[in-house]
Amino acid sequence: MFTERGWDAVVVPPEQVEGIDSFDAVVLGSAVLAQAGEGAGGALQGRPAARPVWLFSSGPIGDPPKPEEDPVDVTDIMQATKAGDFRDWDGVRAWAAEIADALQPGS
């Protein structure tokens, strides 16, 4: 979505983030329960809001967070039952388009 609108998109694993000064914007997140942005968060700490930042995560919700236990590895179950990836990809693409549009000059 970003490249279609003329932006370069770079995916960096959290443990490899050394800083964000060379980026125009940051989309930071994780699908790992309770660990969104872990590792990369240090690159954002103490930084002025000099660039737009979007955050996403999936995982425990509520107070106290649920589930309390560690996530279960469901790889074997998914393969045995031919379960698939049921994320809302249309929703993900729409959100990415909103971000890309917000970054356009004059937006």
pTM above 0.75, yes or no: no
What are 71's two structure tokens?
A: 């996530």
Please give, one letter per residue, the 3-state secondary structure of the chain: CCHHHCCCCCCCCHHHCCCCCCCCCEEEEECCCCCCCCCCHHHHCCCCCCCCEEEEECCCECCCCECCCCCCCCHHHHHHHCCCCCCCHHHHHHHHHHHHHHHCCCC
pLDDT digits (tens, 9 = 90+) for 29-71: 766 554 444 555 566 665 556 778 887 776 665 667 666 666 6
pLDDT digits (tens, 9 = 90+) for 73-87: 767 776 776 776 677
